[in-house]
């Protein structure tokens, strides 16, 4: 459906003039547009005073209703319509959301807005999924900035938006696109979890999961979806990196095991505290000790600077591409420091 004609099909002819007027106003961004703003997600969430949570959160449903030719859309969204006439930021976001959802319909996706956990997103264009993930993360950031400004608590709403972005990103099989989709995830997640989550110990060592294509590009070979499903879980691992240091997370049955080498000499003989900042956003991992921000290693660092320790248990499988991608997103940041 062309957004130039999104009011076509409204049955009441008395609304024709109003519909045509609103259509003309909403068809193009208000003038003059800001030259530096090309996309709301390219601002990295820096919406400042232009962000309006009350209206912005209605945009996906509004665009979906237009695409579905909902005859009551003008009545149900009247305040939003009037707001869009005067707000450049929300109007720009509306146009982008509408275009993304229209592209999904054009590709054969019958659901105007992906239903995470129920609707299969494999056929949805990766470009759209990347955009929607970025949009959810930007929206979470803006919710947090607004709530801090107004001294309100919207942290759970922000966490919910980040969860949706992580779940949606699991369906993106190209590593570079998945990386773009979750570009600001860690930064916004730390903001959502409060000041204590953002504190960094001077002795801490930070690792991040290395993004790969098709959930398993190793040693120059890209493992396709069918290849991944045929391989045993122990042959697939998440690669971690911290500067020149490398590590991995392997799966043994339901257990996720952290394996690290080359740790600081001062850590040898000491247990380690592991923190997974994104670990509290999703529930598929049962963390050792129950707290993803304070996982104590079961064994100390050995005399060679190596550590092997379980960190949690999960029903997800690294051999499944979508599960792999979800765990990869969860381990975008992993912090360690000596326990004593």
Predicted confidence (pLDDT) per residue in 26-76, tens digit: 665 555 444 444 455 554 444 444 567 677 778 878 888 888 888 888 888
Q: Is the pLDDT of residue 233 over 70?
A: no
Give the residue from 159, 157, 105, 161 showing the smallest Cα distance to 132. Answer: 161
**Whole-number pLDDT of residue 116:** 40
Average pLDDT rounded to a whole number, residues 206-220: 67
**Whole-number pLDDT of residue 117:** 39
Highest averaged pLDDT of the listed ranges 99-113, 116-130, 217-231, 317-331: 317-331
Residue 307 banded pLDDT, cuts 50, 70, 90: very high
Helices (H), the chain: 16-27, 53-56, 59-67, 73-76, 78-86, 88-106, 126-150, 155-169, 175-181, 185-192, 195-198, 225-230, 321-330
Q: Which residue has the higher pLDDT, 97 or 280?
A: 280
Lowest mean pLDDT among 20-29, 130-139, 163-172, 203-212: 20-29
List the strands of the sheet with 237-242, edge to edge. 285-287, 307-314, 255-260, 245-252, 237-242, 205-209, 334-338, 272-275, 295-296
C-alpha of 106 from chain center: 24
C-alpha of 323 from chain center: 15
Please tell me the distance from the alpha carbon of residue 91 to that of residue 78, in angstroms, as a whole number: 14
Lowest mean pLDDT among 54-63, 188-197, 312-321: 188-197
Q: Is the pLDDT of residue 160 over 90?
A: no
Mean residue pLDDT of the chain comes to 77
Please tell me the distance from the alpha carbon of residue 114 to that of residue 133, in angstroms, as a whole number: 12
Instruction: Say whether 336 sits in a helix, a strand or coil.
Output: strand
Give yes or no for a contact between 93 and 38, defined as CB atoms under 8 angstroms apart.
no
Query: Of all residues in the chain, what percent carry a pLDDT higher than 90?
Result: 36
Prediction pTM value: 0.67
């Amino acid at each position: 459906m062309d957004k130039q004609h999104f009011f076509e099909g409204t049955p009441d002819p008395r609304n024709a003039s109003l519909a045509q007027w609103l259509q003309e106003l909403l068809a193009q961004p208000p003038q003059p547009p800001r030259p530096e703003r090309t996309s709301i997600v390219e601002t990295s969430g820096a919406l400042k005073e232009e962000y309006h949570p009350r209206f912005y959160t209605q945009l996906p449903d509004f665009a979906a209703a237009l695409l579905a030719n909902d005859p009551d859309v003008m009545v149900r969204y009247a305040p939003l319509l009037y707001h869009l006439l005067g707000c450049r930021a929300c109007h720009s976001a509306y146009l982008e959301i509408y275009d993304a959802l229209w592209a999904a319909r054009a590709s054969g996706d019958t659901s105007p807005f992906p239903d995470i956990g129920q609707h299969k997103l494999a056929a949805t264009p990766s470009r759209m999924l990347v955009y929607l993930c970025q949009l959810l993360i930007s929206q979470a950031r803006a919710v947090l900035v607004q709530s801090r400004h107004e001294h309100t608590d919207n942290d759970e709403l922000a966490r919910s938006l980040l969860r949706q972005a992580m779940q949606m990103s699991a369906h993106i099989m190209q590593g570079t696109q998945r990386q773009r989709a979750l570009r600001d995830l860690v930064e916004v997640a730390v903001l959502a979890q409060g000041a204590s989550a953002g504190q960094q110990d001077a002795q801490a060592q930070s690792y991040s999961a290395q993004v790969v294509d098709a959930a398993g590009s190793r040693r120059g070979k890209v493992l396709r979806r069918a290849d991944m499903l045929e391989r045993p879980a122990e042959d697939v691992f998440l690669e971690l990196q911290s500067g020149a240091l490398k590590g991995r997370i392997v799966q043994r049955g339901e257990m996720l095991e952290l394996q690290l080498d080359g740790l600081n000499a001062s850590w040898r003989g000491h247990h380690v505290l592991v923190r997974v900042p994104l670990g509290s956003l999703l529930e598929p991992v049962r963390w050792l000790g129950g707290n993803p921000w304070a996982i104590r290693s079961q064994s100390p660092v050995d005399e060679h600077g190596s550590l092997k320790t379980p960190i949690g248990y999960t029903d997800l499988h690294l051999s499944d591409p979508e599960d792999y991608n979800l765990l990869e997103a969860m381990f975008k940041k992993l912090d360690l420091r000596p326990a004593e």
